[in-house]
Amino acid sequence: MGKEGSNTAFFLCVEKAFAPKSVQTLMVILRTFSNMLENLFGPRGYLYKGLVADVIKPLANMSPLAKTLMAPHTIAFIIWAVFKQTR
């Protein structure tokens, strides 16, 4: 493989992780993830039930003002904590 191939592989590995910029985007990601968990493990799966009860429902019940004022690092922490639990 020539230089071009190795450079492409290098650039694919250096992409930085990012967090959603808004609570609405976070909710879309979490709901998509919970749908995947439900389809894979069923509605009685522990991770699915915990995600819905402890993260999705409380975020959905927050006031619109609280969602608007939520700091970006808080949003990043929420998604990091959820994905950390899947390990």
Separation CA 50–CA 30 (nearest Å):
12
pLDDT at residue 83 greater than cutoff 70:
yes
Residue type, 60: A
What's the pLDDT at 4? Answer: 52
What's the pLDDT at 16? Answer: 73
Token representation of residue 9? 């592989």
What's the pLDDT at 14? Answer: 62
Model confidence over 17-67: pLDDT tens digits? 778 899 999 999 999 999 999 999 999 999 999 999 999 999 999 999 999
Banded pLDDT at 5 (limits 50, 70, 90) = low
At a CB cut-off of 8 Å and minimum separation 6, what does 19 contact? 72, 75, 76, 79, 80
Domain boundaries, the chain: 17-85
What's the pLDDT at 85? Answer: 87
